[in-house]
Amino acid sequence: MKRPALFDSMTSRIFLILLVGIAVAGTMGAALSDTRRMAEVRHLQAIRAIERTGRLLTELDNTAVARRAHEMREARKFARLAGAQDGPAQADDELTALLAGQLPPGVQATVGSIPLARCDIAQDGDQDEEHHKKSRPVDPVVARQWKEAVTATDCWRIETRFSDGSRWSVVTGPPSLLRASYGPDPAFLAVIAVAAALLAFVVARTAGAPIRRLTRAATDVRPGLGVPVLVESGPGDVRGAIRAFNDMQQRLSRHAVEQTYMIAAITHDLQTPMTRLRLKLEQMEDAALQKRLLSDWTAMRAVVEEGLELARSTGRDENAVLLDIDSLIHSIVEDEQEAGHVASFAVAAGCDWRCQPQMLRRCIQNLVDNAVLYGGGAHLSTYRDAGGLEILVRDFGPGIPEGQLEAVFEPMVRLEESRSRSTGGTGLGLTIARNLAQRIGADLTLANAADGGLVCKVRFKA
């Protein structure tokens, strides 16, 4: 199953992990904070409920016994007389001590919690000063006032003994200080989400930067020792990875140079015995045998020369200059036409480009030689776009099988179906051309044209 592009880079994965993690942590933190806030609100509401109940009980103690029932009915929007249906209460020592500080001398009271289901004015026992007189229906207005004045988060039953010895049981609830929580504030969550996204983006970009640097450096690796060394920066593990990459790059460069020197040494040392062999072949008396051996010697000589050229293409160093590409292509085409070959230059980019002129010329010349030799002619063109510069070399020959388009760049690979040794090919021309293209910072690719023939593309990136 193909993984979505969104999750295909380390930067995007770090971004998503951080974004989700911070968002979840922020949401959980907001929920916990809201829970703690509501606990503090309930505690504050309890304090306010005890304070106003203390004021009510103080007022009742100072009121004549005959007037207490009337005063109690006036306070029914936040307190009522308890009845048998309210059941026992669970003592609350903290609120009892708080209430004791609110009452005048001679008045005693204890506070106990009762279930919320019983904290309803509709269950009013309607005790009077003689205790447990006949119940009265609840006024809807009073019920509405109770709902507005009491938040159903806690409910208390207060057993009171007034200074005259009478006992009353009062039920009350906390005042509506704040509305109940409906979850985290959307504005707060929006701020958390934006902040998390920005932080995750910065962290992901910072964490992914070394990987992108390594990717670019690996893409830009070229033969030879002229490869820039990456600066070792960042955390310890990142510096270690960069250091290992630099060491690997240096080893590859040294290996390429050693291989080049070995090829150059072998091909150079072969020239002396081949010269002696040529002198001996020229002294032979059998003309027919001499002709066959000289043909083999010529083929060997071509291989040696191509080997030397391969070594030079890998180890050659040249300064880059600003070059008129069209003029270079035009001169190559003129040389081919003077030699009697089919060559043309159709489209010109009309721009200058900084590169190594001799390496570029040799690279294009190899492609043109292949096109003339195997495709019947070379047709060149140059194009400039926002992405860079392209040089195309096209022929109208048989082309190359799709499966062999990359294989032909390997040394000594020859396509026997269309190229025999009688043509003089050694299998190194495209290898040399690609080596030269890489050394001048270009990419060389092959493709079969839709209407026949092979298209060689040398592309410089802007």
The enclosing H or E element of 157 equals: strand 156-161
Whole-angstrom Cα distance, residue 152 to residue 150? 6
pLDDT of residue 417: 47
Same domain, 130 and 259: no
* Structure token pair of residue 395: 């022929």
pLDDT of residue 319: 84
Which amino acid does the sequence have at 97?
Answer: A
Residue for token pair 């995750």: 200
Sign of the CA dihedral with 186 first, then 189, 195, and 201 last: negative
Mean pLDDT of the chain: 79
Asked if the model's pLDDT at residue 415 lies above 70, the reply is no
Final residue belonging to a domain, choices 292, 317, 342? 317
Could you say which DSSP state residue 221 is in? -
Instruction: Convert the pLDDT of each residue in 289-304 to its tens digit.
Output: 888 888 888 877 877 7
Instruction: Convert the pLDDT of each residue in 155-213 to its tens digit.
Output: 888 999 998 888 888 888 888 765 555 556 677 777 777 887 888 888 877 777 777 77
Partnered with residue 457 across adjacent β-strands are 392, 445
pLDDT of residue 273: 83
Q: Lowest mean pLDDT of 195-209, 257-271, 412-426, 442-456, name the range.
A: 412-426
Residue 270: give the domain boundaries. Answer: 220-317
Whole-angstrom Cα distance, residue 407 to residue 403? 8
Final residue belonging to a domain, choices 218, 238, 255? 218
pLDDT of residue 311: 64
Neighbours of 443 (CB within 10 A): 15
Mean pLDDT across the stretch 410-423?
55
Same domain, 310 and 336: no
Same domain, 185 and 330: no
Could you say which DSSP state residue 42 is in? H
pLDDT of residue 227: 60
Same domain, 68 and 209: yes
Instruction: Convert the pLDDT of each residue in 146-170 to its tens digit.
Output: 776 777 678 888 999 998 888 888 8
Are the CB atoms for 359 and 436 separated by under 8 Å? yes
pLDDT of residue 260: 67
Whole-angstrom Cα distance, residue 54 to residue 56? 5
Cα Rg, the chain, nearest whole Å: 48
Asked if the model's pLDDT at residue 17 lies above 60, the reply is yes
Same domain, 310 and 328: no
Same domain, 126 and 52: yes
The enclosing H or E element of 110 equals: strand 108-113
Any idea what the CATH number is for the domain that residue 279 is in?
Answer: 1.10.287
Instruction: Convert the pLDDT of each residue in 204-254 to its tens digit.
Output: 777 777 777 777 777 766 655 456 677 777 777 777 888 888 888 778 777
Are the CB atoms for 15 and 201 separated by under 8 Å? yes
Helix (H, G, I), strand (E, B) or coil at 253: helix
Same domain, 286 and 328: no
Q: At what angle do helices 236-282 and 287-315 cross, to 10 degrees?
A: 160
Are the CB atoms for 363 and 449 separated by under 8 Å? no
Same domain, 187 and 292: no
How far, in Å, are 20, 191, 202 from residue 26 at the CA level? Answer: 10, 10, 18
pLDDT of residue 424: 45
Final residue belonging to a domain, choices 178, 194, 218? 218
Same domain, 32 and 85: yes
Which amino acid does the sequence have at 142?
Answer: V
pLDDT of residue 148: 67
Domains in the chain: how many in total? 3
Partnered with residue 111 across adjacent β-strands are 158
Mean pLDDT across the stretch 354-367?
90
Asked if the model's pLDDT at residue 367 lies above 80, the reply is yes
Any idea what the CATH number is for the domain that residue 455 is in?
Answer: 3.30.565.10
Same domain, 10 and 96: yes
Same domain, 77 and 155: yes
Same domain, 174 and 264: no
